[in-house]
Structure 1
Amino acid sequence: MTLEAYIAFCIAAIAIVIVPGPTVTIIIANSLKHGTRAGLLNVAGTQAGLLVWMAIAIAGLASAITYMGVWFDVLRIAGAAYLIWLGIKLIRSKGQLTAAAATAPRGGFFFQGFVVILSNPKVLLVFGALIPQFISKDGDYPNQLVLLGLSFMVIATVFDSLYAFAAGNAGSWLSQKRVRFVEVSSGLCLIGGGLWLALRGR
């Protein structure tokens, strides 16, 4: 691909990453309640999930989804239910800032980030619609896909980590009332994302 096409992809990837979605919401919420380390573990988990998505894309995303058939729908519904559950849990929280007052997710923050990214609609957008537009038909498909996939991962790591650091440091001066507002807003966003994922179909 040309340098211009690669730069255009990076700009598009940044635009997608910086818009808060399920992944960013979880990173911010956990960084506020458990500290920056929890948010960074979420980020690490999302990167592991992105590697899985890239492997699926290399194998052929469309054909993989068709082959999986009903199991892809099961994964989609399970992911949607998980997002809704996380949203309800956030809404029911009491805005407590200390780590002792908040319970870490089962399986840890890394696994939570991994699960959330697997059901994140943004990733379907990136690997199913965005990346194919920038791949040259005359070039080597797998190598181009790996380059763009890894570039997206780097961009996501940088900006998601910035969210984690910002939220983690903010936790020291945010009042309980403001944290409660963030929790409710984040919870509603997660529930909305889960409902959208469940109703959109394949």
Structure 2
Amino acid sequence: MGEYHRFLFLVILLILVPGPDYVIVTKNAVGFGKSAGIKTVFGIAAALFCHTIFAVVGLSAFVAKSAALFTAVKYLGAIYLLYLGVRSLFSKGTQLTTTVEAEKRNSWVQGFFTNILNPKVAVFFLTFLPQFVSSDTASWRDFAFLGLTYVLLTLVIYTGYVLLLAKMKGILEKPIIQNIINKLSGFVLIIFGIKLFSENN
């Protein structure tokens, strides 16, 4: 039980660390409303759920061991972050209703692909989860349980963050604030994309 409590503590700390997920959730929640933020969160959780399955069935290990496949996924993930960053950086302060509705629909996709195309997440699941499973009694159920716990905590913490942003709607919905967040989000996503693109396997 002590090991599981340590796992929970470390996972919560890791989820709270700022990264591309927070940028995309913030951008969508502030720019397109609470529902868009929630959809982004569920996209992120769906990708983490897939990574859990990949780790359990051994697909993540296969990707990690294949330099060519790992690099291909990494480049796709970096390109996607750069694409989102450039779109956000050059987005207009005022947007048509049709554009807003399209972005709301795309929120889940953005959350999902930002994570599923990041091989570093797959490697993280492979290296982090085994630390909390006894090598003598380890089974796929243990890995699945820890992975699903990670997914659930991600849902709870990120949803809480979206609800907090919704409470600040009066301030954040001002055009000048939204424009600043768009530009800042775009810049940060581009930085993350370049960083992922240039990282060694």
| Short-chain TM bin | 0.7 to 0.9
Counterpart of 1:183? Answer: 182
TM-score by length of 2: 0.87
From 128, 139, 142, give the equivalent of 1:141: 139
Amino acid at match of 1:28: T
Provide the C-alpha distance between the structure 1 equivalents of 2:15 and 2:119, rounded to a whole number of angstroms. Answer: 12
Q: Are the equivalent residues in 2 in contact too, given 1:88–1:187 (CA < 8 A)?
A: yes
Q: Relative to 1, partners in 2 of residues 1:125 and 1:25: Cα closer, same or farther, differing over 3 Å? A: farther
Q: Relative to 1, partners in 2 of residues 1:120 and 1:23: Cα closer, same or farther, differing over 3 Å? A: farther
Alignment of 1:168 with 2:166, yes or no, is yes
- Structure 1 stretches of 4+ with a deviation exceeding 4 A read 97-101
Aligned pairs for 1:1-202 within 5 A: 3-60=1-58, 61-67=60-66, 69-96=67-94, 102=100, 104-105=102-103, 108-120=106-118, 123-124=121-122, 126-174=124-172, 175-202=174-201
Q: Are the equivalent residues in 1 in contact too, given 2:63–2:70 (CA < 8 A)?
A: no
Q: Relative to 1, partners in 2 of residues 1:97 and 1:6: Cα closer, same or farther, differing over 3 Å? A: farther
Secondary structure in 2 aligned to 1:104?
A: helix
Q: Relative to 1, partners in 2 of residues 1:97 and 1:136: Cα closer, same or farther, differing over 3 Å? A: farther
Give the C-alpha shift of residue 144 in structure 1: 1.4
Provide the C-alpha distance between the structure 1 equivalents of 2:8 and 2:97, rounded to a whole number of angstroms. Answer: 36
Q: Relative to 1, partners in 2 of residues 1:132 and 1:95: Cα closer, same or farther, differing over 3 Å? A: farther
Q: Which residues of structure 1 form unaligned runs of 5+?
A: none
Q: Are the equivalent residues in 2 in contact too, given 1:32–1:97 (CA < 8 A)?
A: no
Q: How many residues align?
A: 199
Give the C-alpha shift of residue 7 in structure 1: 0.8
Cα RMSD (Å): 2.4
Q: Which residues of structure 2 form unaligned runs of 5+?
A: none
Greater mean alpha carbon deviation, residues 134-143 or residues 156-165: 134-143
Q: Relative to 1, partners in 2 of residues 1:177 and 1:105: Cα closer, same or farther, differing over 3 Å? A: closer
Provide the C-alpha distance between the structure 2 equivalents of 1:166 and 1:122, rounded to a whole number of angstroms. Answer: 29
Secondary structure in 2 aligned to 1:191?
A: helix
